[in-house]
Amino acid sequence: MSTYTRRELMVACAAAQIADGEVVFVGMRLPLLAFATAVLTHAPDATGFFENGVVRDTPPDGMVVTMSDTPNLAGALASGRMGMVMNPLAAGRVAAGFLGGAQIDRFGNLNTTFVRPDVRLPGSGGACDIASAARRLLVIMPHQPRRFVSKVDHLTSPGYGDGAGWRCRVGLPPLESVTVITTRAIMRRTEHSDGFSLLSVHPGESADAVLADTGWEWVDSAPETTAEPAPEVLAAIRRLDPTGFWTSDS
C-alpha cells in the first residue's frame, strides 16, 4: 500500500478531473498542483489560464507560492493583461474552473467573503467570474462541518443559486456540474439533480461519517472507495512539491 497524505490524494483526484486538451482556469496552491500533475501524467495538451494573465501548457519549472512567481512565468505561452484570460472565459471557452471556499452549500454556491457573525474573508478575486462562466466547476476544500452548510452566509461564487432555473433567471450560462474534492470524499451535483451525489469516500472513511459532517442529505449515493494515487501520479506531485509545502497534512 502506498503512503500518501490526504492533500496528495486530493491533488491526484482533482488532476483526474482534467481531460487532455481542455482549457482550465487554474487557482493557486492545490489547484495549480492538480493542473500541473494532469499535464505531467494523462493530459499533456491541457492549457491553464491564470488570473494574472498567464497562459501555460507545461508545469511551472520550480516551486510556486503565488501565480506571479518566476517559475510560473518562465516558459509560459503568454503573460499579458488580465483580459487575455478573462475574455475567453466570458466567451465560454473554459471547460473547467478550479475554486475553493470557506463555505459551500447544497446548491454548490461558495462563500469567500464573510462568515457570520464577524469573520471577514479575502473576497472573490476572480472566483465569481470563474463560477459564472466556466462550463463546470471543480472545488477543492477540507471536509469540515463548518464549511459544508445548508446555505452559505454570503454567496460569493454561484453554483446553482437556489436550484434549477436560477442561473437562467439571473442571466448566467448553464453549468454542467459542480464536483467537490475534499480531504474525505468526492461528490458531484448537476442543475436538475435534487442534491449532491457522493461518488466516493477516501480510504479509511465511511459514507455515514462523511454524511455526519455535511450540512445536507445525499441523493441516490452508492459510493465507491476512492482509488489510491498511482505511483507515477505521486511521483509527479512530489516533483512539483518536493518539500510538501502545499501537500503535507501537518
Q: What residues are annotated to the active site?
A: 51
**What beta strand segments (E) does 58-148 contain?**
78-79, 96-99, 103-104, 110-111, 114-115, 119-120, 136-141
Inter-residue contact 37 to 58 (CB < 8 Å): no
Inter-residue contact 224 to 188 (CB < 8 Å): no
Three-state DSSP at 94 gives coil
Closest CA to 127 of 149, 148, 156, 107: 156
Inter-residue contact 50 to 26 (CB < 8 Å): yes
- Residue 182 and residue 141: Cα distance in Å, rounded? 5
* Residues 216-233: b if buried by 16+ CB within 10 A, e if exposed: bebeebebeebebbeeeb
